[in-house]
Amino acid sequence: MILVTGATGRIGRQLTTLLVAQGARVRAMVRDPARARTMLPSAVEIVAGDYRHPAGFATVLADVEKVFLLQVPHAGMVTEQRAFLEAAKMAGVKHVVRMSSLGASPSARARIPRVHGVAEKQLESVGLAWTHLRPSFFMQNLLMHAPQIASVGRFALPTGNGAMGWIDTADIAAVAAVALTQPGHEGRAYLLTGPQALSHGEVAQLLTEVLGRPVVFEDESGDEFVRRAVAAGMDAWMAEALNELYALVRAGLAKVVTPTVSQLLGRPARTMREFLEEHRPQFQSATD
């Protein structure tokens, strides 16, 4: 039995679909089973569970051999993971494939790679086989800007000319499926990127070509980004966390591309142009 956490999220949904298609027995730990039932393949066993409620972990983990562990970063993430990993060990889990991030390290300057770095070390220390997936920025993050791009043809972030090795979440889910179902991935950390490093300005240029009308990227200050994000409802910890990451992007530290996705999948990683063309309707205005 493979347990998928974060199963209703961007990666989890694609991963459960891939695993079921391969004939794997899949259980999803979800916070809202009724909602999850409408989102996941019928062959997925759905069990209620929440990282904040350790009392439910034994039920969630019964008979589980492998776990896809995905947590949303926040200040209490590592504490929640500790309780979950202890329960996993008690339940006889053999291998945990963990969603981490580019640059994960306990000494990272930005808090998201830092909490992922601490969580990786914690996983390594509990005595379960582990695999760390460390993806770069998701192409799907661009969908947050799609309404603005559709309506006014502009979007802003505090990343300057900094480039990133954008990756499609479909490729991350495919790598996770390989690590969970094929041998030889224990004790490995995979830095996962797409095939090209692109700045937001270069993405805007590609969008201009794909949509056939101008799309402009505007650099903004970190303070302006935090103010805007909090006003739009983002919690302050996450707004500051993203601001810290964007500062590293601006400094050129996210300009990393690896061949790992194509090596693990035996096919090329998806390109930004493929992603934008596939999602063109979301970026289009009524008059496009």
Ligand X SMILES: NC(=O)c1ccc[n+]([C@@H]2O[C@H](COP(=O)([O-])OP(=O)(O)OC[C@H]3O[C@@H](n4cnc5c(N)ncnc54)[C@H](OP(=O)(O)O)[C@@H]3O)[C@@H](O)[C@H]2O)c1
Residues that bind ligand X (CB under 6 A): 5-12, 30-32, 50-52, 70-73, 99, 101, 112, 135, 137-138, 141
CB of 112 to ligand X, least distance (A): 6
Compute the 3-state secondary structure of the chain and give helix, strand, coil in percent, each to the nearest 5.
Answer: 45, 15, 35
Give whichever of 5 and 283 is closer to ligand X, judged by the CB atom. Answer: 5
Residue among 221, 226, 204 at smallest CA distance from 154: 204
Show the tokens assigned to 199.
Answer: 């700045």
Give the Cα separation of 193 and 87 in Å (integer). 32
Give whichever of 73 and 195 is closer to ligand X, judged by the CB atom. Answer: 73
The conformational region for residue 7 under phi > 0 = left, psi -120 to 50 = alpha, else beta, is alpha
For CA atoms 127, 129, 134, 140, the dihedral sign is: negative
CB of 6 to ligand X, least distance (A): 4
Give whichever of 55 and 286 is closer to ligand X, judged by the CB atom. Answer: 55
Give the Cα separation of 181 and 15 in Å (integer). 12
CB of 141 to ligand X, least distance (A): 5
CB of 30 to ligand X, least distance (A): 6
Q: What is the DSSP string of 223-285?
A: HHHHHHHHHTT--HHHHHHHHHHHHHHHTTTT----SHHHHHHSSPPPPHHHHHHHTHHHH--
CB of 77 to ligand X, least distance (A): 8
Give whichever of 58 and 152 is closer to ligand X, judged by the CB atom. Answer: 58
Residue among 199, 144, 141, 134 at smallest CA distance from 172: 134
Give whichever of 114 and 185 is closer to ligand X, judged by the CB atom. Answer: 114
CB of 225 to ligand X, least distance (A): 15
CB of 286 to ligand X, least distance (A): 28
For 45, phi then psi, to 5°, come to: -80, 130
Q: Are 102 and 145 in contact (CB under 8 A)?
A: no
Give whichever of 52 and 213 is closer to ligand X, judged by the CB atom. Answer: 52
Give whichever of 138 and 275 is closer to ligand X, judged by the CB atom. Answer: 138
